[in-house]
Structure 1
Amino acid sequence: MIEAEATFDGTFPFAPRFSSAPGFRMHYVDEGPDDGEPVLCLHGEPTWGYLFRHLVPVLSQTHRVIVPDHMGFGKSETPEGRSYWLQDHIDNLERFVLALDLGNITLVMHDFGGPAGMGLAARQPQRIRRIISANGPTPFGHADLPERLSANAQLSPWFRWIVQAHAGGVLRSVLGQLGFNILSTLKLNGFENNAVITDAWLSAYGAPFSNPAECLGAIGWAEGFALGTHQVEQPSPAAIEIIRDKPALAIWGEADRTLHAEHFLPMSSELFPRAPIERLKGVGHYCFEDTPDVVAALIRDFIRRS
């Protein structure tokens, strides 16, 4: 867990806040007017709220921007004796949202923030106003999800590595040293913008994983895929009807080598057939790092229009 006041040479200047509602010390950023419509930004693997550091100042001029760190990531606690499967992260997120009593939420989701956010939407559809996925899957009652995941895993270096490392018994030991191999992990997933790499940047992404005990979140997400223990939330027919009528936007970096557009963008199109899709050439999996200004502008303008 990173020190609460750490700003990484001023690149993450937001006041730290904490909630105990999920049963552990969950860190979150809360910027913008208190009465502003909330934008809930959900990160994935192996990142944290730092991923959204360029988006927060853009949206917080008019909206209340809330950026939690999932259990085992960022400035949040990494408790022992807890499981780190998808359903656990959905549980934590729901408790967090209910504790803050958030409504009219605009979801901004990246990587496994997608299934976590859609899990929240399945449980609390009446609290969601808009859905924005940026290189993040939006599973929501898709019967063919296992086939999509399997087809994608055959193309993805990251998922192929997970399967091989788990079979070889080295997944936990390698990811247990994530603080030292963070850059190679990000590159394996499809990080393209080398110009952004600085000592502060490397420190920000490596610091949450300073020892094996702090890597349980990252290990859990990968191990859950290998074991098949992640459970996608199944929405009720009523939840599907509510959510499919919401304004939605999909943003996808086409150079993503972890989540291929051909397998995951159709999920968004099927759920939101009228939703715009912005495909970004030359942009990798971490679109918020590769082209932050473009992504922030797309999100800001979409929120204004809808």
Structure 2
Amino acid sequence: MDTLVQHRRITVAGIETFYREAGRQDAPVLLLPHGYPCSSYEFRNLMPRLADRWRLIAPDFPGAGYSGTPDDFDYSFDGYAAWLEAFVDAVKVDRFALYLHDFGSPIGARLAIRTPRRIVALIIQNGDIPYEDALGPKYADIETTWTLPRPDMRKALAEAVSEEAFKEEFLNDLPPALADTIPPDLWKLHWPLVTPRRKEIAVDLIAGLKENRAWFPEHRKYLREYRPPTLIVWGPNDHYMPEKSARAYLRDLPDAELHLLGGGHWLLETHLDEVVALMREFLGRVHSA
């Protein structure tokens, strides 16, 4: 039973929160913040594969998945990081390894900076990197909107929040053979959850990438000063975060383990076996009972 994924609800900072959990309560913890435009659903296959030795916890952020969407929440990277800290406290976790993927990366990294003693190790998988010169070509499309007046910028970004855009986000830069392995459930299940309010939240968060650039030095400083044990697993077929994005982390984490696999942004869909094997070996050394 410990390896089965449990689906739970809890109130965190006044917000109804859905999360997935697997593993023994006394096992070493791996925290799994999700990316955009997904939810804890992205970890559904990973969790039972590691639950024999670790306790895996994957929450849905406010305004995503099956969690609530309160009007008075701070839907920014800082707001999500503060909420994630409250969530960790609510599920009574002290120290943990942290998986950083997509938008979960700047959120999780902020949590690490807030409470560095709690972070045992990092696993970075196609995370939003803090290196301006190593971003992929798709980020240029977002950057072009920054020159527009704010109403025009929001209008342009809102046009990119659609079911078809969700599909493109999940397929990204995959070659046809791998694209055929991506289940349409990813966009078909997540798009119906996007209410008008949630669409506004998505636009706010994407627009916030501009302000997030000012935070990059803090992220790099944390990596450089604390040097947490780090496993980097990367899918180079990623218009947002190609191979050079993965290698950029080695500037501040020269001892990190870097593994370039053959997939793209959503490695847990295309290369689960390889990722699990690498994680088991890494976590077995740095974060095991």
TM-score band w.r.t. shorter chain: 0.7 to 0.9
Q: Which amino acid aligns with 1:212?
A: P
Cα distance in 2 for partners of 1:199, 1:260 equals: 23
Residues 199 and 110 from structure 1, CA distance in 2 versus in 1: closer, same or farther, beyond 3 angstroms? closer
Q: Which amino acid aligns with 1:87?
A: D
In structure 2, the residue matched to 1:25 is: 16
Residues 119 and 199 from structure 1, CA distance in 2 versus in 1: closer, same or farther, beyond 3 angstroms? closer
Q: Which amino acid aligns with 2:280?
A: R
In structure 2, the residue matched to 1:232 is: 215
In structure 2, the residue matched to 1:16 is: 7
Q: Which range is displaced more, 70-79 or 217-226?
A: 217-226
Q: Which range is displaced more, 292-301 or 43-52?
A: 292-301
Q: 5+ residue gaps in structure 1? A: 1-12, 140-144
Flag as ranges the 4+ runs of structure 1 deviating above 4 A.
239-242
* 1:249 to 2:234 alignment: no
Residues 166 and 38 from structure 1, CA distance in 2 versus in 1: closer, same or farther, beyond 3 angstroms? farther
Report the TM-score when normalising by structure 1.
Answer: 0.79
Q: How far has the Cα of 1:180 moved from its partner?
A: 5.8
Q: Which amino acid aligns with 1:213?
A: R
Q: How far has the Cα of 1:185 moved from its partner?
A: 3.5
Q: How far has the Cα of 1:120 moved from its partner?
A: 0.9
Q: How far has the Cα of 1:57 moved from its partner?
A: 0.6
Report the TM-score when normalising by structure 2.
Answer: 0.83
Match of 2:277 among 297, 300, 305: 297
Residues 165 and 104 from structure 1, CA distance in 2 versus in 1: closer, same or farther, beyond 3 angstroms? closer
Residues 191 and 222 from structure 1, CA distance in 2 versus in 1: closer, same or farther, beyond 3 angstroms? farther
User: Residue 241 of structure 2 aligns to a residue in which SS?
Assistant: coil
Cα distance in 1 for partners of 2:237, 2:118 equals: 33
Cα distance in 2 for partners of 1:208, 1:255 equals: 27
Q: How far has the Cα of 1:272 moved from its partner?
A: 2.3
Cα distance in 1 for partners of 2:9, 2:233 equals: 30
Q: Which amino acid aligns with 1:272?
A: L
Residues 288 and 279 from structure 1, CA distance in 2 versus in 1: closer, same or farther, beyond 3 angstroms? same
Q: Which amino acid aligns with 1:279?
A: L
Cα distance in 1 for partners of 2:52, 2:96 equals: 16
Match of 1:103 among 66, 81, 94: 94
Deviations 1:1-51 (A, max 9, x none): xxxxxxxxxxxx843222322332222111110111111012111111111
Match of 1:174 among 147, 156, 159: 159
In structure 1, the residue matched to 2:258 is: 277
Identity over aligned pairs, percent: 26
Q: Which amino acid aligns with 2:170?
A: L
